[in-house]
Amino acid sequence: MIPLSVPCIKGKELIYLKECVKTEYVSSVGKYVRLFEKEICKFTRSKYAISCTSGTAALHLALRVAGVRQDDEVIVPTMTFIATTNATRYLKANPIFIDCDDYYNLDVKKVVSFIKENTYFKNNFSYNKRTKKRIPAIIAVHVAGNAVDLFPLIKICKKKNIKIIEDAAGALGTFYSEGKLKNKHAGTVGDIGCLSFNGNKIITSGGGGMILTDDKKTANQALYLSTQAINDKINYIHHDIGYNYRLTNVQAAVGLAQIEKINFFLKKKKKLYNFYLKELKNIKNVNFVLAPRYAKNNHWMMSIALKKNHEKNKLINFLFKQKIQARSIWLPCHMQKPYKKFEKYKIRNAEKLFKKTVNIPCSTNLKLSEARKVVKKIKNFLGE
C-alpha cells in the first residue's frame, strides 16, 4: 500500500532516544525538550516556543491564554480538522463558522465583512450583534500548509481587540514571500501560533505540538498552565487550574532529529509538488490544487479537485483497490453533528470543495516510481 502521508525516520532519532533511556530522562524533564523548543524558535524565527502533548492541546492553551471564557464566541473556519473547533468547546465557548477561499483557507474578506457588519465594540471588546456574546479571538488555519492571507485581518482585529490565533498545525516550513508579511513564518504573524507534530505532519515527534509567540507574558502563561499551574514545586501549591500538557523528553528527542532534516523534507515536498503539477495540470476532468503565490509553501498535503462531484468517493475506493491510500478533505465543521446548531456566515465555497477534493499520497519518502503509479491510476480512473 502506498500511504497518504507517513514520516521519514532516517536521522538521529535512535541515537537521541538511546540517550534518553540511558539517562532515564524520559518524561517532560530532560534536555531534548529545551533543545527542540530552541530549534523550533530558530527555524520559525519566533521568540518563544512552548512544547505540548499535541496540536490540539496547543490550541486549547492558546485560546485559554488569549482570554477565551465560557459563553464567549470564537470565529473559526468551517474548513478545518475538527480539533480546531473542538478546542473552542473545551472552554465552553461557541464557534462562529466562516467560509473558505479557493486555497481552502479562512475567507479573510468574509471575516472582515462579518466583523464590520455583525459586531459592535463596547468596553474594549467586540460583541456579536445577534447573540450579544463577546468575541475575544479568531482562529486562522493554514490548511495543508497554505498560508492564510492574514494581513487584512491584522489592523481590524487589533482595533476590535480580537486576538488572532494561528492554527499552523500543517504549516511548518511555510513562509510568506511577498508583501508586508514577507519572510514571516506561518504561526508567527498573529498573537499566538500552534504547530502539530503528529505522525502525518512534515516532521513528527510521534505526537506533540508547540505554541509560538513573541510575547514573554503569553509564553510564561502557556508554560505555567501546561505544567498543572504549579506555583510552589516543593509544597505543591497551585493558584489556577492547569493541564498535563508538556511534551516528553522521548518525543522531543524524535522531534529534534526531525527538525534537523527539515530543509531536506521541504526539498522533497517541493519536488513532489512540481511532479504532480506537471503530470496533472492538463487533465481535463481534474484540477491540481495550487498553493497561494504570496507564500513559499511547505506542500505538506497535496490535493486534486474533481470536476464531477459524484466521482470523489469512487476515486478513493478505486485507488484503495490499487493499493494507494487517498482521502477526502474534511467534512466542513458546520455540517458535523455536534456543530450544526452554531452560527455560520455566508458559507458556500467550503461545501463545494468538500464534494470534489481528494488528498493524494505525498510522504517525504515517497518514491518517484510510486508517484508515477498514483498519476497513472488517476488517469486510468478518469479515462485519460
* Residue 384 scores a pLDDT above 80: no
Position 320 in a domain: yes
Residues 321 and 195 in one domain: no
Angle between helices 262-280 and 368-382 (to 10 degrees): 30
Position 6 in a domain: no
DSSP secondary structure of 159-180: HTT-EEEEE-TT-TT-EE-SGG
Secondary structure tally for the chain: helices H, strands E: 12, 18
- Which tens digit of pLDDT belongs to each residue from 188-205? 999 999 999 999 999 999
Residues 255 and 269 in one domain: no
Burial of 42 (0-12, 13-18, 19+ CB in 10 A): exposed
Nearest-angstrom CA–CA distance, 68 and 58: 14
CATH label of the domain that carries residue 266: 3.90.1150.10
List alpha helices for 185-338, DSSP H. Answer: 216-226, 249-259, 262-280, 312-321
Express the helix, strand and coil content of the chain in percent, nearest 5 each: 40, 20, 40
Task: Using DSSP bridges, classify how beta strands 192-196 and 163-167 pair: parallel, antiparallel or unpaired.
Answer: parallel
* Residue 73 scores a pLDDT above 80: yes
Give the mean model confidence (pLDDT) for residues 333-338: 98
Q: Look at residue 367 in the predicted model and tell me its pLDDT.
A: 96
Domain boundary pick from 223, 238, 259: 259
Residues 91 and 124 in one domain: yes
CATH label of the domain that carries residue 69: 3.40.640.10
Residues 230 and 346 in one domain: no
Q: Which triple of cell numbers denotes residue 239?
A: 493558584
Give the mean model confidence (pLDDT) for residues 24-49: 95
- Which tens digit of pLDDT belongs to each residue from 137-153? 999 999 999 999 999 99
Q: Look at residue 280 in the predicted model and tell me its pLDDT.
A: 93
Contact 166, 190 (CB under 8 A): yes
Residues 116 and 214 in one domain: yes
Residues 285 and 310 in one domain: yes
Q: Which triple of cell numbers denotes residue 360?
A: 493524494
- Which tens digit of pLDDT belongs to each residue from 227-250? 999 999 999 999 999 999 999 999
Give the mean model confidence (pLDDT) for residues 31-39: 97
Contact 361, 378 (CB under 8 A): no
pLDDT-derived band at 308 (thresholds 50, 70, 90) equals: confident
Residues 56 and 180 in one domain: yes
Q: Look at residue 310 in the predicted model and tell me its pLDDT.
A: 82
Q: Which triple of cell numbers denotes residue 146?
A: 497554505
Nearest-angstrom CA–CA distance, 197 and 242: 22
pLDDT-derived band at 106 (thresholds 50, 70, 90) equals: very high
- What phi, psi does 371 have (nearest 5°)? -65, -40
Residues 247 and 314 in one domain: no
Give the mean model confidence (pLDDT) for residues 375-381: 95
Give the mean model confidence (pLDDT) for residues 270-299: 94
- Structural domain total, the chain: 2
Residues 226 and 270 in one domain: no
Contact 212, 184 (CB under 8 A): no
Q: Look at residue 33 in the predicted model and tell me its pLDDT.
A: 97
Q: Which triple of cell numbers denotes residue 222?
A: 502557556
Q: Look at residue 281 in the predicted model and tell me its pLDDT.
A: 86
Position 1 in a domain: no
Domain boundary pick from 259, 287, 312: 259
Q: What is the dihedral of CA 251, 256, 260, 264, to 10 degrees?
A: 20
Position 296 in a domain: yes
Domain boundary pick from 234, 259, 284: 259
Residues 253 and 276 in one domain: no
Residues 241 and 305 in one domain: no
Closest CA to 138 of 118, 115, 121: 115
Q: Look at residue 195 in the predicted model and tell me its pLDDT.
A: 98
Residues 97 and 234 in one domain: yes
Find the domain containing 377 and state its range.
262-382
* Residue 282 scores a pLDDT above 90: no
